[in-house]
Structure formats: C-alpha cells, structure tokens
C-alpha cells in the first residue's frame, strides 16, 4: 500500500493539514489546551490564533484559578485576546469571576470581531448590566443571555440578523420589549423564560415575528384588557404558522375561563411541543386553561408540565376532567415535574394514561417535599391505572 | 449511454467513476458516492457517468482514504440504521493509525463530508486534550524545533507563570550581555583596523590613491554596532514583558538597524575621498565615546579599552597635523557635506550627551 513506505519514517502529517481542519480540531479542545498547542513546534506556534470560537466557560476559569489564582483572570483573558488573528464568530462567556469592567471590555472586543453567536451567563445578584457595546454587534444570529440586566438603548434599531434570542432569568430594563422584538424580524427562536419585566408585550408585536418556530414567554407579560383567556393564546398561535414549540409560564398571571366551552375554529397542526411551567394545580382556572390548550393542539407530541414550587392549597377543589372528549392521538411523551401528589395532579396523569394511545413514556419527578413513603404510595396508585397505550412506560422518581 | 442524473430502477444499481490524484480510476455505486456533497455536485454537473469522464477527486484523496470514506458512506447512507448502530460503527471506524486518521480528515474535508470531518477531528482532539506537549509530539511525530528560549517566550506565557517570567528576564539579560560582548569585540577589532588603516590610507591618500571603500565599510560597521547597541539598551525592558509577536518585532528592529546603515551609506556615498578621513576622524572620536559607554554600562572590564583609546588619540593627532597643510580648501567641502552628517552625530551619542561635535570644532580641538 502506498502509505507503508512513509510509515517507516513517521511523518508529521498533522501539521500539514489545511487550516480549516486544524481550526476545527482546535475548536473541539478546551481553550487552554488549544492555546498550549502553540508550544508544540515552530509550525504550531500561531495555529491557535486562527480560533474563531472561544469558550471562556467554567472549565477554563477553573483551570486558570488552579494555576494562577483569581486576581489576574482579566489580564490573562485580555492577553489571550490580543493574540487572536481573525474574526471571532462564536463565544461562550461565563464571566463570573471577572470584574464588571473586564466584561465590558470583552464585549467591546467581541463587538468589533463580528461575533455571530454569543452566550453569556452570570447568575450573580444584583444583576450586572450589559454594556451598550452589545447592541452594536449587528451580525449576531444567536444571542443567549442568562442572568444579567439587558437594556437596549432608546432608538435601538434591533438586531437585523438575529435568528435566536434567549433571555432567561434576565431583567429587562426599560419598557419597550415589544418594540424591541418587532425590530428583530427574522427571529425563529424566542425564549423569554423567567424574564423580569415590569411592562407588557402586545400580542400584535409578537405576531409580527412570523418566522417563529419556538416561543416561550410568561402569560403575565401579555397585554390584554383585564385577564388572559385561552382565546388570546390561540389568537397568538394563529398568527404564527411555523410555530412548533410553545412554552407558557403561569406565574403571577390573571386568567379567565372565557371560551372554555367554545370550540375554537382553527386547530393548530404545526404545534408539536407544549411546555406549561409553574402551574398551580390548586387553581381550577389554570387547569382548565391547560386543558383548553391540549384540546386545540391535536398534533402535540411532547408535553412538559412543571408545577409550581410554591405551597398550594392542600385541599383544592377538584375539577371534573372530561374524559374521551379530547383526543390526544399523537402525544408520545409527557414530563411532569414537581409532582406533589394532589388530587388534581393524579387526575391529570390518570387522564393521560387513559386517553393517549401513542404514549410511549410518562416521566414523573416528585417534588422535594414528598416523603419517600408518600412517593411509594403514589407510585403504586399510578401503576394500577388503566393505560390506553400498551407501550407506555412510567418513570417515577 | 443513459443519463447520469437519473437513478435507475431498483434492479440495476448505477455506478459512477471516480479518479484519484494518482490517476487510478474506480467504479462506485452511485447511492454510496452521492453521500459526499462534492461528488454529488460533480454528478449534477454531468461528470462521472463513464470511464472516460470520471470525477476527478481533490488531491488529498488517495485510494486508501477513498476506500475508507466509501466504507463510511456505504454504512451511513442506509436510512434504517439506529443511532446506536451508527455510533458503534463510528467508534470502531476511527480506530486507526494517527497519520492515517489525519489523512482521512483532510480527504473528508476536501470532499465536504462534514459528518466525517467532525467525527475524525473530534477523535484527533481527544488525542490532544489533556496531554503534555511531549506526549502530543510523540503521538503525531511533531518535531521539537522550538529553541528553549522560544518555548519560554512571553508569547506562550499566557498563564503568567512566575517561574517562566523569571526565566524570560534571565534570558533577556543574558542575550543583552552576549550581544554587548560581541559588539565590544567587533569594536576592538575595528578600532584596531581603523587605526591601522587610517595611518596607511592617510598616507596613501596624501600620496593620491583611492582607498575609501574600506574606510566606508568599517565606518558602516561601527555605525551598525552602535545603533544595535543603542536599541539593545532600550529594547530589553520592552522585550521581556510585552512582546506580542516576536518575529515581526525582531524584523522591525533589524530593519531599523539596516535603514540607519543605508542612510549612512547614502550620505557617505556622496562623500568624496578627501572627506572620508574626516569621517574617520569623527568616527574615532565616536569610538572613544562609544567605548566610554561600554565601559560605563556593563560589567565587562577587560582593560583593553584604555589602550585603544590612547592609540586612537595618537593617530588622530597625527592625522590632524597632516591635514593642516591642506586645510583651507578642505574646510569648505567639510562644512558643506558635514551638514548632512551632523544629525546622525547627535543620535549616535548614546549617553545622551548633547555635545555638539561639529566638524570644525572637532578639528580645532585636535589642532592644539
């Protein structure tokens, strides 16, 4: 074979590989290992400066802390950045140990390097305000912010290329969230979970984002006259033809049952996944609201329900859950978190087991307040329930 | 011949022809080959349907890697396989000699087969992650061709290890001392040369011969040394700490030296032979100052310097006396051409001494 001759004198093949391949190898290494390849040989001295993706994540800072200590983290990060040759298109920052000033400089640097994909996480309180340099990163396609305080400057014209925006646990400064959203017209993924925002978002503003495939927001932020009814949600979904995943958060919202018996004309065929968070199973209105959702999404395949952690009324009014009327033919997987064992919750699970012929898996995670013995009792009860789908697995933990 | 774009009915598999860089041609099932985007595009462009028009594969794809790639394609293009099956195939697939894995990565990249590039580069990354440099060099047969200094240079000291910083400083100091030692040797050697030649050539000049080429050269060398020495004095504090990238900055240092030399050359080029002695006179004066500098700065006290100083003094006085005879005409030329020289005289005096060593005054000094 042709290679065997060369195997006698082992070649340094890796150093001759094309730059883009070497860069893709270096991208799969932790940042400190990628930089250290500079010491391998003359050829490799500057290969790492071609990196376009930087992962300043926990792993990197833990490594630096071990070898250097906390004080010069900012200095080291700056030095590293000075060597970089080309654009930086993707970056993950977990700048928990950096000064606020360092964070500002870092974001300024990235804004000049044509960053396209930025993830930045900082759960410290009080929330650090992100610098306005962030809003000059107009090439951004993906922006994920966890924690922090996000305040677009007045008159900000939006991110024209933004496809995915996640602002989880973010405090939104200002009162123009809706307008900000309308200025990012290409958005396909929008996640505003656990957002702290004192204002309101008009339905009309969200409906402008016609390309949305994944949407997650809090019902309390939707602006309506008095209360929110399922009709409002259906209206919203009606304007988003490409929507595949919808997440609704029920914390602090005022709901109404309006339209509970009325059948909404359009079913929404595209929606495949639904996630309902912080539902209070003691609140009858919320439960019926949830059921309305289920009724109108016939192609639903995945359902996630996360019950609220807060203490709920231990003796809620049990809601008669109609059986058989709703056909959830496509539902394959159900995830139920913070199960407290209340009557309504048990009813719900019973319902799913009875009415979902395609169900493959139902996963129930108990709330921490449930004692092991209680867990056992519930588990026994669940196992005895009738199942429409013979293949259904119940995972209870 | 049937159209290449049409997939034939179930019974007959269609084949396409591929040619590797070494010229060998082989036949492959179309459904397997179109898994590679590159080949797919070529087929749509109409190539590969017959042996006379095979698809020419990029240079990095040799027959061995091609067969590996086709094995990969053959497995993965079957739609019915489970994720588990694919994963286990992949894990077995990448078990091969390191160099072959590298070749495979390059070949897959040139055929735009992204899943395979990702798989192989991840495997290669796993071989690099967490290993020491020696281990990595061993695995990939990378030559260890960085000098000790380069390895410890600030460029690599990203983690700011104090030991490395200390070593850098020591190296910088050592370098400086070495250069100064060298330069001193050069200066001595050339000082002696100057002394010898100045006497000879003065005589020869006075006798009407042209000997300025040598003079110019020695003067040039001295200029270069002086300049390098000056840069050396200024450079070490900068060098040790904030060297962003050594090769470009070294380059500029060198070019500074060279440009100063060339400037001097240009000036000297205009000098007529009868000026060159004056230049040498000034050079020897500079030497004296330069030697003083050396003596002040470094720890190298050889005892050679004072002797040379005396020698030079003697020769200079000698020369000055001889010039006296031709003084009036020479002064004119000196003054006019000396104008060009004066700026460099200021800069040369590394001590920061701002003595204005004009041509006339220098001569006057020695006339006495």
Residues (pLDDT < 70) of chain A are 1-9, 69-70, 225, 257-267, 312-327
Residue B86 lies in a domain: yes
Chain centre distance of CA B278: 38
For residue B232, the enclosing domain spans 148-340
**Closest residue in B to A10 (Cα–Cα):** B141
Q: Are residues B297 and B166 in the same domain?
A: yes
Instruction: Check whether residue B119 and residue B239 sit in a common domain.
Output: no
Task: Give the count of beta carbons closer than 10 Å to the beta carbon of residue A213.
Answer: 16
Q: Flag whether residue A30 sits within 8 Å of chain B, measured between CB atoms.
A: yes
Q: Are A53 and A27 in contact (CB under 8 A)?
A: yes
Question: What's the pLDDT score for residue B148?
Answer: 67
A8 inside 8 A of chain B by CB: no
- Closest of B333, B330, B324, B336 to residue B366, by C-alpha: B324
User: Can you tell me the distance from the alpha carbon of A234 to that of A237, in angstroms, rounded to the nearest whole number?
Assistant: 5
Q: Can you give the pLDDT at residue B327?
A: 58
Cα A12 to Cα B102: distance, rounded to the nearest angstrom: 10
The C-alpha of B14 sits at a distance from chain A's nearest C-alpha, in angstroms, of 28
Please give the Cα distance from B313 to B191 (Å, whole number): 12
Is B156 in contact with A39 (Cβ distance < 8 A)? yes
Residues B267 and B186 in one domain: yes
Does B168 lie in the same domain as B234? yes
Q: Which residues contact A289 (CB under 8 A, 6 or more apart)?
A: A229, A230, A250, A255, A257
Q: Per-residue DSSP letters for A335-351? A: EEEEE---HHHHHHHHH
Instruction: Kindly state the tokens that stand for B341.
Output: 């020289």
**H or E stretch including B280?**
helix B273-297
Examine residue B230 and state whether it is found in any structural domain, yes or no.
yes
In a domain, B3, yes or no: no
Query: Which of A1, A26, A28, A75 best tests the B interface by mutation, with the highest count of B CBs <10 A?
Result: A28
Residue with tokens 């991110």: A159
Residues of chain B below pLDDT 70: 1-11, 148-165, 167-168, 187-305, 316, 319-320, 322-368
- How many independent structural domains does chain B possess? 2
Q: How far apart (Å, rounded) are the C-alpha atoms in residues A145 and A91?
A: 12
Residues in Cβ contact with B170 at an 8 Å cutoff, skipping those fewer than 6 apart: none
Assess A59–B contact: CB distance below 8 Å, yes or no. no
Which of B99, B108, B115 would you mutate first to test chain A, the one with the most A CBs within 10 A? B99
Residues B82 and B187 in one domain: no
pLDDT at A141: 94
Nearest CA to CA, how far is B205 from chain A (Å)?
53
User: Which pLDDT belongs to residue A151?
Assistant: 92
On whether any CB of chain B is under 8 Å from the CB of A44, the answer is yes
Would you state the pLDDT for residue A154? 87
Residue B245 contacts A where some CB pair is shorter than 8 Å: yes
- Whether the CB-CB separation of A127 and A147 falls below 8 Å is answered with yes
Q: Which of A153, A154, A199, A155 has its CA nearest to residue A178?
A: A199
Integer distance in angstroms from the first to the last C-alpha of chain B?
106
On whether both B289 and B232 belong to a single domain, the answer is yes
What are the chain B neighbours of A21 within 8 Å (beta carbons)?
A: 105-106, 109, 117, 121
The closest alpha carbon to B136, from A29, A57, A65, belongs to: A29
Tokens, residue A384: 């005895």
Q: Please tell me the predicted confidence (pLDDT) of residue B335.
A: 66
Q: How far apart are CA B130 and CA B142, in angstroms?
A: 17
Q: Do B102 and A28 touch (CB under 8 A)?
A: no
* B350: in domain: no
Tell me if B6 is assigned to some domain: no
* In a domain? residue B274: yes
In the structure encoding, which two tokens stand for residue B313, read together?
């003094």
Check CB contact under 8 Å for A76 and B160.
Answer: yes
CA distance B224 to chain A (A): 30
Say if residues B69 and B104 touch (Cβ distance below 8 Å): yes
What's CA B321's distance to the chain center, in Å? 49
CB distance B99–A28 less than 8 Å?
no
How far apart CA B103 and CA B120 sit, in angstroms, is 10
User: What residue in B sits closest to A60 (Cα-Cα)?
Assistant: B159
Report d(CA A313, CA B361) in Å as an integer. 106
Instruction: With CA atoms as reference, report the closest residue to B90 among B104, B107, B109.
Output: B104
Taking the CA of residue B144 and the nearest CA in chain A, the distance in Å comes to: 5
What is the CATH number for B120?
3.30.710.10
Under DSSP, is residue B160 helix (H, G, I), strand (E, B) or coil?
coil
Mutate to test the interface with B, among A2, A40, A54 (most CBs of B within 10 A): A40
Do B54 and B156 sit in the same domain of this protein? no
Per CB-CB distance under 8 Å, the chain B contacts of A35 are: 158
Q: At B167, which helix (H) or strand (E)? A: helix B162-206
Examine residue B251 and state whether it is found in any structural domain, yes or no: yes
Note whether B208 and B109 are same-domain residues.
no
Nearest to B109 among A20, A33, A64 (CB): A20
Based on the fold, state whether residues B108 and B160 are members of the same structural domain.
Answer: no
Chain A 227-286, CB below 8 Å of chain B: which residues?
A: none
CB–CB of A37 and B158 under 8 A? Answer: no
**Which pLDDT score, from 0 to 100, does residue B367 have?**
43
Q: Which of B71, B100, B129 is the last residue of a domain?
A: B129
- How many cross-chain Cβ pairs, A to B, lie less than 8 Å apart? 113
When CB atoms are compared, the residue of B100, B130, B142 closest to A33 is B130
Residue A2 and residue B64: Cβ atoms within 8 Å?
yes
Which of A25, A48, A68 to probe the B interface (max B CBs under 10 A)? A25
Could A41 and B142 be called an inter-chain contact, meaning their C-beta atoms sit closer than 8 Å? yes
Separation in Å, CA of B26 to nearest CA in chain A: 16
Whether B63 has its CB under 8 Å from any CB of chain A: the answer is yes
d(CA A292, CA B153): 68
Question: Is A41 close to B144, i.e. CB distance below 8 A?
Answer: yes
Domain for residue B175, yes or no?
Answer: yes
Contacts with A25 from chain B: Cβ below 8 Å = 105, 121, 124-125, 128
Shared domain for B97 and B20, answered yes or no, is: yes
Question: Looking at the complex, does the CB of residue B57 fall below 8 Å from at least one CB of chain A?
Answer: no
Strand, helix or coil for residue B171: helix
| A63 to chain B: closest CA residue | B159
Contact between chains at A33 and B133 (C-beta distance less than 8 A):
no
Local structure of B252: helix, strand or coil: helix
B179 shares its domain with B305: yes
Q: Which runs of E-coded beta strand occur in B96-142?
A: none
pTM of the model: 0.64
Q: Judge contact between B45 and B62, C-beta under 8 A.
A: no
Query: Is residue B122 domain-shared with residue B153, that is, in the same domain?
Result: no
């Amino acid at each position: 074979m042709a290679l065997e001759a060369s195997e006698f004198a082992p070649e340094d093949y890796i150093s001759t590989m094309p730059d883009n391949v070497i860069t893709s190898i270096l991208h799969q290494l932790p940042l400190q290992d990628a930089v250290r390849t500079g010491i391998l040989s003359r050829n490799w001295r500057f290969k790492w400066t071609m990196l376009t993706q930087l992962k300043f994540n926990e792993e990197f800072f833990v490594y630096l802390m071990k070898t250097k200590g906390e004080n010069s983290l900012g200095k080291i990060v700056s030095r590293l950045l000075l060597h970089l040759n080309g654009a930086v298109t993707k970056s993950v920052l977990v700048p928990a140990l950096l000064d606020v000033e360092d964070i500002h400089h870092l974001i300024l640097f990235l804004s000049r390097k044509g960053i396209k994909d930025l993830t930045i996480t900082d759960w410290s309180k009080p929330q650090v305000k992100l610098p306005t340099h962030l809003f000059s990163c107009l090439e951004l396609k993906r922006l994920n912010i966890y924690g922090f305080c996000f305040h677009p400057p007045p008159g900000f014209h939006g991110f024209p290329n933004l496809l995915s925006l996640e602002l989880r646990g973010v405090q939104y400064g200002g009162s123009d969230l809706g307008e900000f959203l309308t200025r990012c017209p290409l958005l396909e993924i929008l996640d505003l979970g656990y957002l702290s925002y004192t204002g309101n978002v008009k339905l009309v503003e969200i409906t402008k984002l016609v390309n949305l495939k994944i949407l997650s927001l809090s019902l309390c932020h939707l602006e309506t006259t008095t209360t929110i009814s399922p009709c409002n949600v259906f209206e919203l979904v009606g304007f988003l033809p490409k929507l595949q995943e919808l997440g609704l958060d029920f914390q602090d919202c005022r709901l109404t049952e309006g339209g509970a018996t009325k059948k909404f004309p359009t079913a929404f065929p595209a929606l495949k996944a639904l996630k309902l968070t912080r539902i209070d199973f003691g609140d009858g209105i919320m439960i019926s609201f949830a059921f309305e959702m289920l009724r109108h999404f016939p192609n639903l395949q995945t359902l996630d329900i996360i019950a609220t952690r807060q203490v709920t009324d231990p003796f809620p009014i049990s809601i008669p859950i109609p059986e058989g009327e709703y056909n959830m033919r496509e539902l394959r997987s159900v995830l139920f978190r913070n199960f407290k064992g209340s009557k309504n919750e048990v009813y719900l699970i019973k319902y799913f087991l009875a009415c979902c012929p395609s169900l493959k898996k139902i996963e129930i995670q108990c709330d921490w307040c449930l004692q092991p013995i209680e867990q056992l009792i519930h588990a026994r009860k669940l196992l005895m329930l009738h199942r429409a789908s013979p293949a259904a697995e119940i995972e209870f933990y | 011949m049937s159209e290449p774009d049409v997939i034939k009915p179930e019974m007959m598999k269609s084949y396409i022809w591929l040619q590797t860089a070494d010229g060998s041609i082989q036949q492959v099932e179309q459904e397997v080959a179109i898994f590679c985007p590159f080949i797919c595009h070529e087929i749509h462009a109409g190539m590969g349907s017959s042996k006379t028009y095979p698809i020419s594969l990029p240079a990095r794809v040799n027959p061995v890697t091609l067969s590996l790639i086709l094995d990969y394609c053959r497995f993965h293009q079957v739609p019915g396989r489970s994720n588990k099956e694919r994963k286990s195939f992949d894990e077995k697939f990448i078990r091969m000699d390191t160099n072959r894995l590298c070749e495979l990565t390059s070949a897959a990249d040139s055929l735009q087969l992204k899943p395979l590039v990702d798989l192989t580069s991840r495997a290669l990354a796993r071989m690099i992650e967490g290993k020491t440099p020696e281990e990595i060099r061993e695995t990939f047969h990378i030559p260890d061709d960085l000098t000790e200094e380069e390895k410890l240079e600030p460029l690599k000291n990203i983690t700011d290890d104090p030991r490395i910083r200390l070593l850098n400083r020591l190296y910088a100091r050592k370098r400086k001392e070495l250069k100064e030692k060298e330069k001193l040797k050069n200066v001595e050697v050339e000082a002696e040369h100057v002394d010898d030649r100045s006497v000879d050539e003065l005589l020869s000049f006075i006798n009407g011969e042209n000997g300025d080429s040598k003079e110019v050269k020695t003067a040039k060398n001295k200029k270069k040394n002086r300049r390098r020495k000056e840069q050396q004095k200024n450079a070490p504090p900068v060098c040790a700490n904030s060297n962003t990238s050594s090769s470009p900055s070294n380059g500029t240092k060198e070019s500074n030296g060279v440009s100063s030399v060339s400037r001097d050359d240009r000036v000297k080029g205009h000098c007529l032979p009868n000026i060159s002695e004056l230049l040498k006179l000034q050079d020897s004066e500079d030497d004296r100052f330069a030697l003083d500098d050396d003596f002040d700065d470094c720890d190298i006290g050889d005892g050679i310097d004072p002797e040379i100083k005396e020698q030079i003094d003697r020769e200079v006085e000698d020369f000055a006396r001889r010039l006296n005879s031709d003084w009036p005409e020479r002064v004119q030329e000196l003054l006019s051409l000396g104008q060009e020289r004066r700026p460099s005289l200021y800069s040369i005096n590394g001590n920061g001494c701002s003595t204005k060593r004009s041509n006339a005054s220098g001569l006057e000094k020695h006339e006495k």
